[in-house]
Protein backbone atom coordinates (compact mmCIF):
# COMPACT_ATOMS: atom_id res chain seq x y z
CA UNK A 1 0.00 0.00 0.00
CA UNK A 2 1.40 3.45 -0.88
CA UNK A 3 1.54 6.03 1.90
CA UNK A 4 0.06 9.43 1.08
CA UNK A 5 2.02 12.58 1.87
CA UNK A 6 -0.80 14.95 2.75
CA UNK A 7 -0.59 18.76 3.20
CA UNK A 8 -1.19 18.13 6.91
CA UNK A 9 1.85 15.85 7.09
CA UNK A 10 3.97 18.46 5.29
CA UNK A 11 2.84 21.14 7.74
CA UNK A 12 3.61 18.87 10.66
CA UNK A 13 7.16 18.24 9.31
CA UNK A 14 7.80 21.98 8.90
CA UNK A 15 6.42 22.67 12.39
CA UNK A 16 8.75 20.04 13.88
CA UNK A 17 11.76 21.58 12.16
CA UNK A 18 10.75 25.08 13.26
CA UNK A 19 10.38 23.83 16.85
CA UNK A 20 14.03 22.82 16.64
CA UNK A 21 13.64 19.04 16.42
CA UNK A 22 16.49 17.37 14.55
CA UNK A 23 15.91 15.60 11.24
CA UNK A 24 16.83 12.34 12.98
CA UNK A 25 14.20 12.89 15.70
CA UNK A 26 11.46 13.70 13.16
CA UNK A 27 12.37 10.62 11.16
CA UNK A 28 12.20 8.47 14.32
CA UNK A 29 8.68 9.70 15.16
CA UNK A 30 7.51 9.08 11.61
CA UNK A 31 8.97 5.56 11.68
CA UNK A 32 7.29 4.95 15.04
CA UNK A 33 3.91 5.88 13.52
CA UNK A 34 4.39 3.37 10.74
CA UNK A 35 5.97 5.40 7.95
CA UNK A 36 8.30 3.61 5.60
CA UNK A 37 11.80 5.10 6.02
CA UNK A 38 12.33 6.03 2.34
CA UNK A 39 8.90 7.65 2.10
CA UNK A 40 9.52 9.57 5.33
CA UNK A 41 12.91 10.85 4.18
CA UNK A 42 11.46 11.94 0.84
CA UNK A 43 8.52 13.66 2.57
CA UNK A 44 10.89 15.53 4.87
CA UNK A 45 13.19 16.60 2.06
CA UNK A 46 10.33 17.79 -0.16
CA UNK A 47 8.43 19.57 2.62
CA UNK A 48 11.43 21.43 3.98
CA UNK A 49 12.78 22.35 0.53
CA UNK A 50 9.42 23.71 -0.60
CA UNK A 51 8.97 25.60 2.66
CA UNK A 52 12.42 27.23 2.44
CA UNK A 53 11.86 28.10 -1.21
CA UNK A 54 8.49 29.74 -0.45
CA UNK A 55 10.14 31.75 2.32
CA UNK A 56 13.02 32.82 0.06
CA UNK A 57 10.65 34.00 -2.65
CA UNK A 58 8.50 35.82 -0.08
CA UNK A 59 11.68 37.72 0.86
CA UNK A 60 12.06 38.77 -2.77
CA UNK A 61 14.82 36.35 -3.80
CA UNK A 62 14.77 35.05 -7.38
CA UNK A 63 13.45 31.47 -7.71
CA UNK A 64 15.84 28.55 -7.25
CA UNK A 65 16.53 26.36 -10.29
CA UNK A 66 18.09 22.91 -10.75
CA UNK A 67 21.90 22.88 -10.71
CA UNK A 68 24.58 20.36 -11.72
CA UNK A 69 25.56 18.01 -8.93
CA UNK A 70 28.19 15.26 -8.91
CA UNK A 71 26.94 12.00 -7.39
CA UNK A 72 28.37 12.11 -3.87
CA UNK A 73 25.51 10.12 -2.29
CA UNK A 74 27.58 7.19 -1.06
CA UNK A 75 30.58 9.30 -0.08
CA UNK A 76 32.75 8.02 -2.95
CA UNK A 77 36.51 8.69 -2.97
CA UNK A 78 36.47 8.62 -6.76
CA UNK A 79 33.86 9.32 -9.44
CA UNK A 80 33.53 7.72 -12.85
CA UNK A 81 33.85 10.52 -15.41
CA UNK A 82 33.55 8.16 -18.39
CA UNK A 83 37.10 7.94 -19.68
CA UNK A 84 38.73 8.69 -16.31
CA UNK A 85 38.25 8.29 -12.60
CA UNK A 86 38.34 11.59 -10.77
CA UNK A 87 39.18 11.91 -7.06
CA UNK A 88 36.89 13.74 -4.64
CA UNK A 89 39.35 15.64 -2.44
CA UNK A 90 36.97 17.86 -0.45
CA UNK A 91 33.33 18.86 -0.42
CA UNK A 92 31.13 21.41 1.25
CA UNK A 93 27.35 21.02 1.25
CA UNK A 94 26.24 24.62 1.71
CA UNK A 95 27.22 26.30 -0.53
CA UNK A 96 27.96 23.28 -2.68
CA UNK A 97 31.70 23.25 -3.41
CA UNK A 98 33.67 20.18 -4.50
CA UNK A 99 37.42 19.94 -5.06
CA UNK A 100 38.36 17.28 -7.61
CA UNK A 101 41.75 15.64 -8.07
CA UNK A 102 43.11 14.42 -11.39
CA UNK A 103 40.34 15.72 -13.65
CA UNK A 104 42.98 16.27 -16.36
CA UNK A 105 46.36 14.61 -16.77
CA UNK A 106 49.59 16.57 -17.31
CA UNK A 107 49.58 16.03 -21.09
CA UNK A 108 46.02 17.39 -21.36
CA UNK A 109 46.93 20.45 -19.28
CA UNK A 110 50.02 21.08 -21.46
CA UNK A 111 48.05 20.62 -24.68
CA UNK A 112 45.34 23.08 -23.59
CA UNK A 113 47.97 25.66 -22.61
CA UNK A 114 49.83 25.20 -25.92
CA UNK A 115 46.61 25.62 -27.93
CA UNK A 116 45.53 28.67 -25.92
CA UNK A 117 48.86 30.53 -25.60
CA UNK A 118 49.00 32.07 -29.09
CA UNK A 119 45.39 33.23 -28.76
CA UNK A 120 45.63 35.03 -25.39
CA UNK A 121 44.57 38.62 -24.98
CA UNK A 122 43.88 40.82 -21.96
CA UNK A 123 40.76 39.41 -20.25
CA UNK A 124 37.46 41.09 -20.81
CA UNK A 125 34.47 40.73 -18.55
CA UNK A 126 30.93 41.05 -19.73
CA UNK A 127 30.08 44.73 -19.26
CA UNK A 128 26.78 44.41 -17.49
CA UNK A 129 25.61 47.96 -18.05
CA UNK A 130 26.06 48.00 -21.83
CA UNK A 131 25.81 44.31 -22.74
CA UNK A 132 29.23 44.46 -24.45
CA UNK A 133 32.65 43.44 -23.18
CA UNK A 134 35.19 45.66 -21.49
CA UNK A 135 38.68 45.52 -19.99
CA UNK A 136 38.26 45.24 -16.24
CA UNK A 137 40.88 46.29 -13.68
CA UNK A 138 39.53 43.61 -11.31
CA UNK A 139 40.68 40.93 -13.68
CA UNK A 140 44.31 41.28 -14.68
CA UNK A 141 44.75 37.92 -16.39
CA UNK A 142 45.02 37.16 -20.12
CA UNK A 143 42.54 34.79 -21.69
CA UNK A 144 40.82 33.19 -24.65
CA UNK A 145 37.73 31.07 -25.31
CA UNK A 146 37.60 27.78 -27.14
CA UNK A 147 34.33 27.16 -28.92
CA UNK A 148 32.44 24.10 -27.73
CA UNK A 149 33.99 20.86 -29.06
CA UNK A 150 36.50 22.97 -31.00
CA UNK A 151 39.05 20.13 -31.09
CA UNK A 152 38.99 16.44 -30.15
CA UNK A 153 40.81 17.32 -26.90
CA UNK A 154 38.32 20.04 -25.97
CA UNK A 155 35.38 17.75 -26.84
CA UNK A 156 36.82 14.92 -24.74
CA UNK A 157 37.27 17.18 -21.72
CA UNK A 158 33.75 18.57 -22.12
CA UNK A 159 32.28 15.07 -22.27
CA UNK A 160 34.19 14.15 -19.10
CA UNK A 161 32.89 17.24 -17.29
CA UNK A 162 29.31 16.53 -18.44
CA UNK A 163 29.51 13.00 -17.05
CA UNK A 164 31.18 14.08 -13.79
CA UNK A 165 28.69 16.87 -13.08
CA UNK A 166 25.69 15.13 -14.63
CA UNK A 167 24.85 18.16 -16.74
CA UNK A 168 24.35 18.23 -20.53
CA UNK A 169 27.48 19.07 -22.53
CA UNK A 170 25.46 21.54 -24.65
CA UNK A 171 24.58 23.57 -21.53
CA UNK A 172 28.24 24.53 -21.13
CA UNK A 173 29.83 27.72 -22.40
CA UNK A 174 33.05 27.20 -24.35
CA UNK A 175 36.09 26.51 -22.14
CA UNK A 176 37.88 29.71 -21.21
CA UNK A 177 41.65 29.53 -20.62
CA UNK A 178 43.27 32.23 -18.48
CA UNK A 179 46.89 32.94 -17.63
CA UNK A 180 47.80 34.93 -14.53
CA UNK A 181 51.37 36.24 -14.32
CA UNK A 182 52.88 37.59 -11.05
CA UNK A 183 50.61 40.29 -9.64
CA UNK A 184 47.60 39.22 -11.71
CA UNK A 185 44.39 38.39 -9.87
CA UNK A 186 40.65 38.16 -10.24
CA UNK A 187 38.96 40.17 -7.48
CA UNK A 188 36.02 38.53 -5.68
CA UNK A 189 32.82 38.39 -7.73
CA UNK A 190 29.80 36.21 -8.43
CA UNK A 191 29.66 34.26 -11.69
CA UNK A 192 25.89 34.55 -12.21
CA UNK A 193 24.56 37.48 -14.19
CA UNK A 194 23.10 40.21 -12.01
CA UNK A 195 19.34 40.30 -12.72
CA UNK A 196 19.32 44.06 -11.95
CA UNK A 197 21.67 44.95 -14.81
CA UNK A 198 20.10 46.17 -18.04
CA UNK A 199 22.23 43.90 -20.27
CA UNK A 200 21.27 40.71 -18.45
CA UNK A 201 18.08 39.81 -20.38
CA UNK A 202 20.10 39.72 -23.62
CA UNK A 203 22.81 37.54 -22.06
CA UNK A 204 20.18 35.14 -20.71
CA UNK A 205 18.82 34.51 -24.21
CA UNK A 206 21.85 32.30 -24.90
CA UNK A 207 20.92 29.55 -22.41
CA UNK A 208 19.58 31.14 -19.27
CA UNK A 209 21.54 31.84 -16.10
CA UNK A 210 24.89 30.41 -15.18
CA UNK A 211 24.20 27.84 -12.46
CA UNK A 212 27.66 26.42 -11.76
CA UNK A 213 31.38 26.97 -12.35
CA UNK A 214 34.24 24.52 -12.74
CA UNK A 215 37.71 26.04 -12.51
CA UNK A 216 40.38 23.57 -13.70
CA UNK A 217 44.01 24.26 -12.85
CA UNK A 218 46.27 23.72 -15.86
CA UNK A 219 49.48 25.26 -14.59
CA UNK A 220 50.65 25.86 -11.03
CA UNK A 221 52.17 29.11 -9.87
CA UNK A 222 55.09 28.83 -7.43
CA UNK A 223 53.24 30.94 -4.84
CA UNK A 224 49.80 32.51 -4.46
CA UNK A 225 46.93 32.19 -6.94
CA UNK A 226 44.47 30.24 -4.76
CA UNK A 227 40.79 30.32 -5.64
CA UNK A 228 39.28 32.01 -2.59
CA UNK A 229 35.77 32.19 -1.15
CA UNK A 230 36.05 35.20 1.20
CA UNK A 231 32.72 34.62 2.99
CA UNK A 232 33.76 31.06 3.81
CA UNK A 233 37.42 31.84 4.48
CA UNK A 234 38.18 28.99 2.10
CA UNK A 235 41.20 28.88 -0.22
CA UNK A 236 41.65 26.15 -2.85
CA UNK A 237 45.25 25.57 -3.88
CA UNK A 238 45.76 25.68 -7.67
CA UNK A 239 47.30 22.23 -8.21
CA UNK A 240 47.69 21.16 -11.84
CA UNK A 241 44.99 18.77 -13.07
CA UNK A 242 42.73 19.46 -10.07
CA UNK A 243 39.54 21.51 -10.21
CA UNK A 244 37.08 23.32 -7.98
CA UNK A 245 33.35 23.12 -8.67
CA UNK A 246 30.63 25.26 -7.15
CA UNK A 247 26.95 25.77 -7.92
CA UNK A 248 24.44 28.54 -7.25
CA UNK A 249 20.73 27.81 -7.52
CA UNK A 250 19.71 31.46 -7.77
CA UNK A 251 21.46 34.62 -8.96
CA UNK A 252 21.75 36.07 -5.47
CA UNK A 253 24.49 36.71 -2.89
CA UNK A 254 22.59 34.51 -0.41
CA UNK A 255 24.23 31.60 -2.27
CA UNK A 256 27.52 32.69 -0.60
CA UNK A 257 29.43 31.87 -3.77
CA UNK A 258 31.46 35.07 -3.81
CA UNK A 259 34.88 33.94 -5.02
CA UNK A 260 38.08 35.29 -6.55
CA UNK A 261 41.52 34.39 -7.80
CA UNK A 262 44.12 35.57 -5.28
CA UNK A 263 47.13 37.41 -6.72
CA UNK A 264 49.86 35.20 -8.15
CA UNK A 265 53.02 35.91 -6.14
CA UNK A 266 55.52 33.93 -8.21
CA UNK A 267 55.37 31.88 -11.39
CA UNK A 268 52.37 31.58 -13.73
CA UNK A 269 48.92 30.25 -13.00
CA UNK A 270 46.87 28.76 -15.85
CA UNK A 271 43.23 27.76 -15.54
CA UNK A 272 40.40 26.57 -17.75
CA UNK A 273 36.94 27.65 -16.62
CA UNK A 274 33.72 25.90 -17.64
CA UNK A 275 30.57 27.85 -16.86
CA UNK A 276 27.35 25.85 -16.94
CA UNK A 277 24.02 27.33 -17.99
CA UNK A 278 20.45 26.30 -17.18
CA UNK A 279 19.77 25.31 -20.79
CA UNK A 280 21.60 24.75 -24.07
CA UNK A 281 24.17 27.52 -24.60
CA UNK A 282 23.78 28.87 -28.13
O1 LIG B 1 41.40 31.81 -11.28
C2 LIG B 1 40.58 31.61 -10.42
O3 LIG B 1 40.91 30.99 -9.41
C4 LIG B 1 39.23 32.15 -10.57
C5 LIG B 1 38.68 32.86 -9.55
C6 LIG B 1 37.41 33.36 -9.70
C7 LIG B 1 38.51 31.98 -11.72
C8 LIG B 1 37.22 32.51 -11.79
N9 LIG B 1 36.68 33.18 -10.80
C10 LIG B 1 36.37 32.34 -12.96
O11 LIG B 1 36.92 31.91 -14.01
O12 LIG B 1 35.16 32.61 -12.88
ZN1 LIG C 1 34.50 33.51 -11.17
Residue from 215, 240, 268 whose mutation best tests the ligand 1 pocket (most atoms within 8 A of CB): 215
| Ligand 2 centroid from CA 264, angstroms | 16
In tens, the pLDDT along 115-162 reads 999 999 977 665 555 555 656 667 888 999 999 999 999 999 999 999
pLDDT at 141: 87
Residues of the chain with pLDDT under 70: 1, 124-137
- CA-nearest residue for atom 11, ligand 1, is 273
In tens, the pLDDT along 187-204 reads 999 999 999 999 999 999
| Ligand 1 centroid from CA 79, angstroms | 23
pLDDT at 123: 72
pTM for the model: 0.90
Residue from 189, 271, 272 whose mutation best tests the ligand 1 pocket (most atoms within 8 A of CB): 271
Q: Which CATH architecture has domain 78-277?
A: Sandwich (2.60)
pLDDT at 132: 58
Q: What's the whole-number average pLDDT of the chain?
A: 94
Residue by residue, what is the 3-state secondary structure of the chain?
CCCCCCHHHHHHHHHHHHCCCCHHHHHHHHHHCCCCHHHHHHHHHHHHHHHHHHHHHHCCCCCCCCCCCCCCCCCCCEEECCCCEEEEEEEECCCCEEEEECCCCHHHHHHHHHHHHHHCEECEEEECCCCEEEECCCECCEEEECCCCCCHHHHHHHHHHHHHHCCCHHHECCCEEEEECCCCCEEEECCCCCCCCCCHHHHHCCCCCEEEEEEEEEECCCEECCEEECCCCEEECCCCCCEEEEECCCCCHHHCCCEEECCEEECCEEEEEEEEECCCCC
Percent of the chain with pLDDT strictly greater than 90:
90
pLDDT at 125: 63
| Ligand 2 centroid from CA 153, angstroms | 23
Q: Is 186 in the pocket of ligand 1 (CB under 6 A)?
A: yes
Amino acid sequence: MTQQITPELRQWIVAQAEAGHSAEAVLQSMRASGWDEDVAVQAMEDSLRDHLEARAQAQGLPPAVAVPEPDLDDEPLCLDAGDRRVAVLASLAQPRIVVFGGLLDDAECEALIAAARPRLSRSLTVAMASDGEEVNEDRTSEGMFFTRAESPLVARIEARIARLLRWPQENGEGLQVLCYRPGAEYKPHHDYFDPQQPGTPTILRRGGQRVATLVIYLGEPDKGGATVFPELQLAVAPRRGNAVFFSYERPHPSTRTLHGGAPVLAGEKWIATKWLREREFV
